[in-house]
Structure 1
Amino acid sequence: MSSISTSVPTRNPASLDARATHVRARANWMRRRLLKMIVDAGQGHPGGDLSAADIIAALYFDSLRIDPAAPNAPDRDRFVMSKGHCTGALYTALAGAGFFPEDELDTYLQPLSRLNGHPNRAYLPGVETNTGPLGHGFPVAVGVAVAGQIDRADYHVFVLTGDGELQEGSMWEAAMFAAHRGLGNLTVIVDRNGLQQGAKTEDTNSLEPLADKWRAFGWEVVGIDGHDPATILTTLDAARQPRSRPCVIIADTHKGQGVSFMCDQAGWHHGVPNADQYAQAIAELEAEMQ
């Protein structure tokens, strides 16, 4: 078993309440910041960004063993954003964690910006692999986990996938192979907001019974509230425990979480708030933290 690099910090040693409070505050900041990015850019995917913000905040501001000063440290944890179109949430987390200056977020989707509509490993530190085409990131992450298994490395691989993305056949090929290899170093988190571009997932291509499908493929399955930081943190902690098979966390979420007029609305899969909508969204998010 390889030793953990001294440059990679251990996870937050504070109490669960303190950790959850910190994650909630960071997720709220991410939501406010990414909405500004989308408004300034005139494009983006706010619905999925907002549904994933609590999960991504828990990863980047607490659970992941990562070091922005050594983004390629061999024993770092790996996080793959398989739902690669939700870059607003990913980029705010990377900037907030120190991988690049926060003011660079103002260049989101601008010509020559490093902050593309889909994350690019060649441009940004902290991006493990290029994603965007749905069904691509998770299979890559399985390969990374296999490499860790072969090398007896001490890192963990986390993947965030959208639920609509699970309609891709490549996802289930990867799931089958991961179970066959007994990849206990792999955790998949499903952002189960029930919506995809233009419709409900169940009206497009039904996924249920989703938990039973994963179990049938040989995975350990956990269902959680994807907007409860304490629950997210304890579940991520447990996912690190030694196991002989991969784990999937099905996180029940709301598309557009935190903004009343976006919440559970498929039309906000992508789109840009107008000035009045933006002001209302920021006011609601600021009120949440009071």
Structure 2
Amino acid sequence: MVPTSHPAEIDLAVLDRVQQRVLWLATRMIDSANRERPTGELKVGGHQASSASMVSIMTALWFGHLSGDDKVAVKPHASPVYHSIKYLTGELDRSYLTKLRAVGGLQAYPSRTKDPDVADFSTGSVGLGAVAPLFAAMARRYIEAHFGEITDSPARFIALVGDAELDEGNIWEAIADPALQGLGNVMWVVDANRQSLDRVIPDQKIKKLIELFDGAGWHVVEVKYGSLLQAAFERPGGDDLKAHIDEMDNERYQSLFATSGATLRERFLVGASPALGELVGDIEDDDLYALITNLGGHDLSSLLGAYQACDLVTDRPSVVFAYTVKGWGLPIAGDPLNHSALLTAEQIDDLRSATGLTTANEWDPFSPGTAEADMCHATGGELNNQPTSPRPSLPIPDATGVLSSGAVSTQDTFGRVLTSLANIDAVAERMVTTSPDVSISTNLGSWINKMGVFTPQDRPNFLGADRILNWEQSAAGQHVELGISEMNLFLALHAFGLGHELHGRQLLPIGTVYDPFVCRGLDALIYALYNDARFVVAGTPAGVTLAPEGGAHQSSITPSIGLEL
């Protein structure tokens, strides 16, 4: 059961008017970028329908839930919604609203390095931005274990994810890794609009996704029905109505959006029980369409209640499945081909009028002194990002004084250098190593013996300390062991490498990997570099040390990848 209560101080009528303005601005930004261009120039793109499905989710989140230290990854195609909110709350200058996807303007997708209203996470490569808050929460847990709590109000790490984005394999690699378990300050909100770029998502995939999250130990909340449907469920025949909708395939449900009147009624009632027929028989045609399409992902009170429910679960991550309509509030709502569709000039005029605006004031914020303006001002004062201070310099020596006699391998030297740096307190306290289950074979053994393995709670060492490798696990450890996932390795390095920017604590992250498998994690490595994360990655020269294992473990192109990056 999803809580439907919301903080008493939030006026839902005002919040609704804010979301209507956000919808307008996001839609108009994309329209301006494509329609108001010199003759002959190509369409630049944008996603009015994908933005619209996120408006309620983001309005409820920003204006009714977030606090100052929270970090949010925004669904890539909802970038215009993000910029609209940042404009209304005072962080983004009005001049940028007509510069979407333009040189020197707003990026197509949220960017922490290029947008003027700096995003917490870049999310342009689907799947990577979704898990970035999860890894950031892991980094925060590590940092607070070593340096103490950073704020009186613990930060929450939130990802706004498209349902089709959950097809990306790196998401499930991250969710399954033990190093990322127990992060109760993480919340994902899935925009369950049942549509991807090319099609309506087949069958009832959301049910399967919910089972996967539940099996991974996540707290799952569904926000499926709006207030109209919830009220209808309480009437005679309501149980049949709920079962009829729940059992309906995505393709069939989505096809109803293109119908109305008697045709809608006829198609909806195929296979319905007599009790449902009686219930629907009392509803006018126009009201029936509003009822059938009344989903919880556009019910502000239900969304706020779901966010609150997630805050109450502190021992594991939470995920909210918010059922939405792709193209909500627009004439292209629910159309299977609306992903890249643009409203016509006439449709833009109609939306402008419906929002109570004219061409003279269409870009204006709310008038000062109104309840909407006060809400936006209060939100901006609490949430708007401040410039990050420069990274501090760590006292890393030019040389460690590590000497050897005779021939020595680079791997052995690497291990000796790490152990030497561990003796420099000001450097050692900032160092954190990580590897995808190859710590021993990449010569991290001496470092681990000296510094220990990080776990949130101390664990007994059943094998004892009198072994060559002492796997001592505690909250004081400085090595994070990952499962065999190179994507997770580079995403962890990305999170640790932004320790100063996201958490105010500079770290020196060092990751190790077999160098041919850099290619397995290359997408995440590029993502980390794009975000200006700073870290060291050492690839064992597998073409030499693993040559007897055959071609699968040999590498000839890894050095060139490094040079090209």
Provide TM-score, normalisation by structure 2.
0.44
Partner of 2:208: 209
Partner of 2:14: 22
Query: Which one of the candidate residues 145, 169, 172 is aligned to 2:137?
Result: 145
1:16, 1:194 → 2: CA distance? 33
Amino acid at match of 1:160: L
Matches within 5 A, 1:203-282: 206-224=205-223, 225-259=296-330, 261-282=331-352
2:219, 2:98 → 1: CA distance? 40
Amino acid at match of 2:129: G
Checking the alignment, whether the CA contact within 8 Å between 1:179 and 1:219 is kept in structure 2 is: no
Residues 1:237 and 1:40: Cα distance change in structure 2 (over 3 Å):
same
2:336, 2:124 → 1: CA distance? 19
Partner of 2:23: 31
Establish whether residue 77 from structure 1 lines up as the match of residue 76 from structure 2.
Answer: no
Amino acid at match of 2:49: G
Checking the alignment, whether the CA contact within 8 Å between 1:201 and 1:207 is kept in structure 2 is: no
Residues 1:179 and 1:93: Cα distance change in structure 2 (over 3 Å):
farther
1:138, 1:284 → 2: CA distance? 34
Please list every run of 5 or more consecutive structure 2 residues that lacks an aligned counterpart in the other structure. 1-5, 35-44, 224-295, 358-565
Shift of 1:16: 5.6
2:57, 2:103 → 1: CA distance? 29
Partner of 2:120: 128
Partner of 2:156: 156
Amino acid at match of 1:90: Y
Matches within 5 A, 1:38-77: 38-42=30-34, 43-66=45-68, 76-77=69-70
Higher RCO (C-alpha 8 Å, min separation 6)? 1
Shift of 1:281: 3.2
1:233, 1:209 → 2: CA distance? 25
1:49, 1:24 → 2: CA distance? 16
1:88, 1:94 → 2: CA distance? 10
Q: What's the C-alpha RMSD, in Å, of the aligned pairs?
A: 2.3
Shift of 1:148: 2.0
1:150, 1:45 → 2: CA distance? 38
Checking the alignment, whether the CA contact within 8 Å between 1:47 and 1:270 is kept in structure 2 is: yes
CA deviation vs aligned residue, 1:218-274 (integer Å, no higher than 9, x gap): 111000111011111122122223511100000000000012x21111322123212
Shift of 1:286: 4.9
Partner of 2:198: 198
Partner of 1:4: none
Residues 1:14 and 1:201: Cα distance change in structure 2 (over 3 Å):
closer
1:211, 1:179 → 2: CA distance? 21
2:97, 2:56 → 1: CA distance? 19
Shift of 1:150: 2.1
2:215, 2:173 → 1: CA distance? 13
Shift of 1:108: 1.6
Checking the alignment, whether the CA contact within 8 Å between 1:258 and 1:284 is kept in structure 2 is: no
Shift of 1:179: 8.4
Establish whether residue 87 from structure 1 lines up as the match of residue 79 from structure 2.
Answer: yes
Over the matched positions of the two proteins, sequence identity in percent amounts to 25
SS in 2 for 1:158: strand
Shift of 1:181: 1.9
Checking the alignment, whether the CA contact within 8 Å between 1:221 and 1:247 is kept in structure 2 is: yes
Residues 1:266 and 1:283: Cα distance change in structure 2 (over 3 Å):
farther
Rg: which structure is higher?
Answer: 2
Shift of 1:189: 0.3
